[in-house]
């Protein structure tokens, strides 16, 4: 009887081979950028700029957030080859964005500027009050709320882009919204 053990694989072995054979889309995009494809870098920017902007906006003002986005992608262009796990480009970018925004925040005096065109939100609360309330929250809530409410990302998109688990994003959004409502006087503390 022939030895059939070599033609059958355990499911975990087949999965490991499939993962090696087909890298995730982000890893393929990183490889294209590293190969010198400028269109791929533009795709990387389009895919992750909203996340980077949201993270920056949760820490600094709107004008500074735009600067952070620019600095992050300049940094990425120079150091993408140092990324060890090509499939983890989203969490890597999130970390760079957090660091850049915190460095900028520490090096400049606080600013409360907002566009004058943004005067009032639909429920009567001033945008300044809402932004101030969000910025006073813990990082996890602040970041996920800005990514959701300002950048329009869904929970699964936030999880995929930042490397957080879906459950963590869901919990942070739920608790963050509850805390925001309380801070704005829309929900009474129990």
Q: Give the pLDDT confidence of 99-130 residue by residue, as tens digits.
A: 999 888 887 754 434 333 333 444 445 777 88
What contacts 13, CB < 8 A, 6 or more positions away? none
pLDDT band at 187 (very low <50, low <70, confident <90, very high): low
Separation CA 55–CA 143 (nearest Å): 6
- pTM for the full model? 0.66
Residue 135 is predicted with a pLDDT of 86
SS3 string, 95-125, reads: HHHHHHHHHHHHHCCCCCCCCCCCCECCCCC
Task: Say how many Å lie between the first and final Cα of the chain, rounded.
Answer: 73
Output 82 or 21, whichever has higher pLDDT: 82
Q: Which domains does the chain have, with CATH numbers?
A: 22-113 (1.10.1740.10), 115-190 (1.10.10.10)
């Amino acid at each position: 009887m022939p030895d059939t053990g070599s033609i059958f694989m355990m499911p975990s072995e087949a999965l490991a081979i499939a993962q090696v054979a087909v890298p995730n889309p982000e890893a393929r995009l990183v490889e294209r950028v590293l190969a010198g494809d400028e269109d791929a870098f533009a795709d990387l920017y389009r895919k992750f700029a909203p996340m980077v902007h949201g993270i920056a906006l949760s820490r600094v003002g709107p004008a500074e957030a735009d600067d952070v986005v620019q600095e992050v992608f300049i940094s990425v262009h120079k150091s993408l080859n140092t990324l060890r796990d090509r499939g983890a480009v989203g969490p890597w970018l999130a970390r760079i964005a957090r660091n850049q925004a915190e460095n900028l925040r520490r090096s400049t005096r606080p600013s409360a500027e907002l566009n004058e065109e943004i005067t009032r939100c639909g429920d009567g609360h001033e945008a300044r009050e809402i932004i101030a309330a969000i910025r006073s929250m813990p990082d996890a809530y602040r970041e996920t709320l800005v990514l959701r409410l300002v950048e329009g990302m869904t929970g699964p998109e936030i999880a995929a882009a930042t490397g957080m688990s879906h459950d963590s994003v869901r919990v942070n959004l739920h608790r963050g919204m509850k805390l925001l409502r309380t801070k704005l006087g829309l929900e009474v503390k129990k």
